């Protein structure tokens, strides 16, 4: 196979992989020979879909953080907690490790995901001269850590089920919970629908240095 160029794209060779089973197919086929999924050399509309999902998620991140996410009644006193105040309470009661876990899962991860995906999509849409390899590593990290935001919702559901004793001690979810759930859902989908091969088709000229070092 010596006649294959180091940086050949499947697109130029008339080949394409099946998005669902990963089998190599020829471009002239419309459906995968193994699993019958429709084949697409590039999904150009995925960029728009991904932007739409990401922008919606970014907007929802605001109510998710400014509205309370839980409501706690403790001996008649009602306390509303936002994601942030919930974490500061943990810090005040000296539970640093738990505070750090919750801070990472509920504030850092969603924020990193939205900022990261924005950089990623901007780089494709506006052909920014950012190292493609770095973008791709970031993308894999975003895909992998995204799920961990569910942590807060699980904690809320356990708490709500356990703590319901009327005026004495009672926990209920508050409006930010839905917004937060939607942020997780939409950001995961934004990463999922995106055809990452688009990144490698564009911004060709800018970081050629990156390519040549890779080939040795």
Partner 1 sequence: MERDCIDDCVTLCRSCDLVVTKRALPSGVRALCPRCHTALYDTPYCSINGMLALCITALIFFTPANFLPILELHFLGSVRTATIAEGAIAVAHQGYWIVGISVMLTAVIAPGVLILSILSQILIIKYRLHSPFFRDVLKRLLKYQDILSQLTMLEIYLISILVSVFNLSDFADIFLGMGTFCFSMLFIVTLFLQREYNLEHMWSMLDE
Q: Which residues bind partner 1 (CB under 8 A)?
A: 1, 3-4, 7-11, 13, 15-17, 19-24, 26, 34-37, 74, 90, 93, 95, 98, 101-102, 132-133, 136-137, 139-140, 147-148, 150-151, 153-165, 168-169, 172-173, 177-178, 181-182, 184-185, 196-197, 199-201, 211, 214
| 3-state SS assignment for residue 8 | coil
State in angstroms the smallest separation of the CB of 56 from partner 1: 14
32: contact with Zn ion by CB under 5 A: yes
Cα–Cα distance between 66 and 63 in angstroms, integer?
5
Which of the stretches 21-29, 40-48, 87-95, 183-191 binds Zn ion when contact is defined by CB under 5 A? 21-29
Cα–Cα distance between 132 and 214 in angstroms, integer?
12
State in angstroms the smallest separation of the CB of 114 from partner 1: 18
Cα–Cα distance between 67 and 61 in angstroms, integer?
10
State in angstroms the smallest separation of the CB of 129 from Zn ion: 19
Which two tokens mark 34? 């193994």
Which two tokens mark 77? 């006193």
State in angstroms the smallest separation of the CB of 38 from partner 1: 12
Contacts of range 113-120, beta carbons closer than 8 Å, 24 or more positions apart? 113/142, 113/145, 113/146, 113/149, 113/187, 113/191, 114/54, 114/57, 114/58, 114/61, 114/183, 114/187, 116/141, 116/142, 117/50, 117/54, 117/142, 117/187, 117/190, 117/191, 118/54, 118/58, 120/194, 120/199
Nearer to Zn ion, 26 or 74 (CB): 26
From the list partner 1, Zn ion, none, pick the one residue 32 interacts with, judged by a Cβ distance below 5 to 8 Å according to partner type: Zn ion
State in angstroms the smallest separation of the CB of 83 from partner 1: 13
24: contact with Zn ion by CB under 5 A: no
Nearer to partner 1, 62 or 211 (CB): 211
- Closest by CA to 174, choosing from 68, 82, 87, is 68
Nearer to Zn ion, 21 or 169 (CB): 21
Judged by the rule CB under 5 A, the positions of this chain that interact with Zn ion are: 18, 21, 23, 32, 34-35, 37
């Amino acid at each position: 196979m010596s006649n294959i160029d180091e940086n050949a794209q499947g697109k130029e060779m008339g080949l394409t992989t099946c998005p669902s089973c990963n089998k190599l197919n020829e471009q002239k086929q419309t459906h995968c020979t193994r699993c019958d999924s429709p084949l697409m050399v590039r999904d150009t509309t995925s960029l728009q879909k991904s932007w739409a999902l990401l922008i919606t998620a970014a907007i929802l991140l605001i109510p998710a953080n400014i509205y309370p996410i839980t409501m706690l009644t403790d001996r008649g006193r009602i306390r509303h907690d936002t994601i942030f105040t919930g974490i500061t309470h943990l810090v005040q009661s000296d539970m640093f490790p738990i505070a750090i876990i919750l801070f990472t899962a509920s504030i850092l991860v969603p924020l990193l995901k939205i900022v990261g995906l924005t950089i990623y999509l901007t780089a494709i849409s506006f052909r920014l001269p950012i190292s493609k390899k770095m973008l791709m590593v970031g993308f894999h990290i975003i895909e992998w850590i995204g799920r961990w935001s569910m942590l807060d919702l699980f904690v809320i559901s356990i708490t709500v089920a356990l703590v319901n004793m009327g005026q004495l001690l009672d926990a209920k979810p508050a409006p930010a919970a839905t917004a937060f759930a939607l942020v997780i859902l939409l950001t995961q989908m934004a990463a999922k629908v995106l055809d990452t091969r688009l990144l490698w088709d564009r911004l060709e000229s800018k970081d050629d240095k990156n390519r040549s070092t890779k080939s040795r």
